[in-house]
Structure 1
Amino acid sequence: MLRALIIDDEPLARSNIAHLLADDPGIAIVGQCGSAEEALAALPAARPDLVFLDVEMPECDGFELLELIGAAPPFAIVFVTAHHQFALRAFEVGALDYLLKPFDDRRFGRVLERVKERMRAPGETRRFIIKNGNALQVVKFADIDWVEASDYYTTLHANGRSHMLRRSLADLDTELAPHGFHRIHRSAIVNLERIRALEIREDGEYEVVLRTGQRLRMSRRYRKTIMELLCKD
């Protein structure tokens, strides 16, 4: 049973989503909020698995609400918006899907089925959607070698290419950790499956050597944890 929370400042929009969700026996509606303030108060007790989040709300919009929550939220997100241009940003902040208002029953049903499928197999479907010129680049978690802090952004290094993402390293650290990633330095996260070796430099410090040949400095504070993780069966 998936616990769903609806956050939208329009009562009719909340009612429509609730009505459509009520037809699904695998969904339990745990709350409806008309503002970001209400949502922040309701989230701890509601403990939703899935949140339908309106983009445009007065005082605090959907993206700003996620910034207030901080890090990677412990629930899946479907953004609800009347404007197509918000779709890219929705995927950039980790949304599983988005609904374009006004939507009909068929469109809602398709989105809900896609979301449930992705939530059933998160390890296979986790990915970032990144704008690259006029195209949208899909970068799967499994394809990422390492992640680098770049001022207020991060750079994903995957399949020999680099992709700039408008997310903080701390944010990505929380999101990627359950999928086999770990920080090795205050400005770097690595995919543990991509590590080929740990080498000791002449000064006694360790370097992480990736399968690509890339060498990354490892801070002493992470050395023991990384070694323990690599030695696990």
Structure 2
Amino acid sequence: MTLRIAIVDDEAPARDKLRRYLKDAAGFELIGEADSGGAAVTLISRERPDVVLLDVRMPDMDGFAVLEALGDSLPSEVIFVTAHGDYALQAFEVHAFDYLLKPVSPERFDRLLQRLRQRLSPRQDIGQRLEGLLDALPAPVGYVAHLLIEADNRAELIPVERISRIEADRNYLDIHADGRRHRMRGTLERMQARLDPACFVRINRSTLVRLAAIHELAPWPDGEYRLHMDDGSRITWTRRYLEQAPPGLLRRV
């Protein structure tokens, strides 16, 4: 069995070194490289590698933000490769397979490949691995900044500040952003936990809205409120969810 591997690092010399190590390694195929967090999300979601060699510090998104943005598209095994040792605990909290400190010696890399062969051949239940990795992701300090949307054999990163509202439809979510609707699998409860509560609030059983996207807020019968959103939609904020309103917001209406 050949294990498909991707390299993510913003420094070309670091990628070159890992590529050389993999060149003659039996049982491994390099399927792509990325030089930024955003490029990594696109590459991994498209190619679905078995293994990702992932840098921690990158200019646009760090390695942990990449994993968070990937959501259910996480690779089977993640190996952090970094010059910084102070992220090791966080790496293993997200079930990283290994943590390599730069400069990585050939001997250390060979031991890693040997362990990967033993772990993934025969292949484990990848679904169980992904669930464990997702559940173990620590609550991000700044919450997610992007959502990964997959459709028609491609993936798109949507900045959360462009989202107007998110609506639940059974096992799917409709993400409304920039006048377009994007569909992804998931639950509203899980999505709400990923988004900053200072920016997003749940207003009824099936809808999350971005507070800054509310154009107008007006009292409605039975103690409810009617929202006029910046995309022209009209939504009711039901009484059951009024307690989730930021302090002082409704008092100003």
The normalised TM-score by structure 1 is 0.51
Check whether the contact 1:97–1:115 (CA below 8 A) recurs between aligned residues. Answer: no
Identify the residue that residue 135 of structure 1 maps to in structure 2: none
Local SS of the residue matching 2:84: coil
Structure 2 CA distance, aligned partners of 1:25 and 1:108?
A: 13
Q: Over alpha carbons, which structure has the higher Rg?
A: 2
Aligned to 1:85, the other structure's residue is in SS state: helix
Amino acid at match of 1:84: G
Bigger drift between 14-23 and 80-89 goes to 80-89
Post-superposition offset of 1:87: 1.2
Tell me the residue number matched to 1:45: 46
Task: Identify the residue that residue 80 of structure 1 maps to in structure 2.
Answer: 81
Counterpart residue number, 1:97:
98
1:103-114 superposed matches below 5 A: 103-114=104-115
Q: Deviations over 1:5-56 (max 9, x none)?
A: 0000000000100110111121110001000111122223322111000011
Paired amino acid for 1:51:
V
Partner of 1:224: none
Decide whether the 8 Å contact of 1:99 with 1:111 is kept in 2: no
Q: Paired residue for 1:4?
A: 5
Aligned residue in 2 for 1:221: none
Kindly indicate whether residue 76 of structure 2 is the aligned counterpart of residue 64 of structure 1.
no
Shift, 1:120, TM fit = 2.8
Q: CA deviation at 1:71?
A: 4.3
Q: Contact (CA 8 Å) 1:48, 1:75: kept in 2 or not?
A: yes
SS of structure 1 residue aligned to 2:21 = helix
TM-score by length of 2: 0.48
Shift of residue 91 of structure 1? Answer: 1.0
Q: CA deviation at 1:72?
A: 7.0
Cα 1:166–1:49 change in 2 (3 A) is closer
